[in-house]
Amino acid sequence: MEMQRNVSEFILLGFSYDQNMQIFCFVLFLFCYVALLAGNLLILVSIRCSPLFHQPMYYFLSHLSTMDICYTSSITPKLIADLLVERKTISYGTCMLQVFTMHFFGMIEVLILTVMAFDRYAAICKPLHYLLIMNRTRCSLLLLVAWAGGAVHSFPQFFMVIRLPFCGPNEIDHYFCDIFPLLKVACSDTYITGVLVIAFSGIVALVTFIVLFVSYGIILFTLRNLSAEGRRKALSTCGSHITVVILFFGPVIFIYLRPPTTFPEDKIFALFYTIIAPMFNPLIYTLRNSEMKNAMRKIWCQTSELNIFLAKQRGS
């Protein structure tokens, strides 16, 4: 632990030293983050203020939106702020906290996506028993398991990283603190730690990805027994889920399921699971979902009518 005290902060190298490129990235990522917050908050409010909240799929979707906000907010605000300064530093404590929150909220999101796949399996393959299988008590228990899984996943990796000795250099070739870039600057043999990270993150992501695609394969196979309208609706919902899974899991598997090393391309791939996938989640789940669009239209139209009525009351 004494060796760790030799490094009180890390320097993040970010994307580019070019000033024009940094300004472009600042505008782009600020827009993405605002769109992410607005989209996910819109989903949250629309679900919470409508009967959809009592349906399991939308109950899970509201929690997925919450995780998107928490997960991305652990990384993106710091990234945006760093694009305005020349020397991008992060304190040792904040760096360790970023490692923990990223893996904690990220794993919860992975497990919620898995739960949503199970929900679709129950709805399509077991329609007569769906409400019995996915009752509110079981839904809440599944979410509790997701939070517990996030803790089981993140705490061991956090303790592995916090025990690493950092005695210089302190430059991290990334835009946030992640485990592999930190292993590169640690002044000790990190082979075992790297293998454990692959097991905790890479293999877990791969297994989850396979489980999700097998479950969606079973669902799609079952669709042949449904009516044309039932197939269309089920394909629309499952298509949304599959798109989210590919956007999120593809880059994660590429980065974590390989020997513990880093490449310049990692920063680009990391953008997909830290910013791009969470930003597109609201669009993917609303534009292809008539129930969500109807709920949002109803709630926001009622809000507009109420505002007009209150304005008239104040005017009179």
Alpha-carbon distance of 289 to 283, in angstroms, equals 10
pLDDT, mean over the chain: 84
Q: Output the pTM of the full model.
A: 0.87
Alpha-carbon distance of 45 to 41, in angstroms, equals 6
Q: What is the DSSP letter of 275?
A: I
Tens digits of residue pLDDT in 279-309? 888 777 776 667 777 777 777 676 655 565 5
CATH 1.20.1070.10 is held by the domain 9-300? yes
The pLDDT assigned to 70 comes to 94
The pLDDT assigned to 26 comes to 93
Contacts of 149 (CB under 8 A, 6+ apart): 107, 108, 111
The pLDDT assigned to 304 comes to 57
How many degrees, rounded to 5, is the angle at CA 145 between CA 102 and CA 131? 125
- Angle at which helices 136-162 and 56-73 pack, to 10 degrees? 20
Alpha-carbon distance of 158 to 153, in angstroms, equals 9
Confidence grade of residue 94 (pLDDT, cut at 50, 70, 90): very high
The pLDDT assigned to 215 comes to 86
Q: Give 262: exposed, middle or buried? Use CB within 10 Å, 0-12, 13-18, 19+.
A: middle
Q: What is the mean pLDDT of residues 207-218?
A: 87
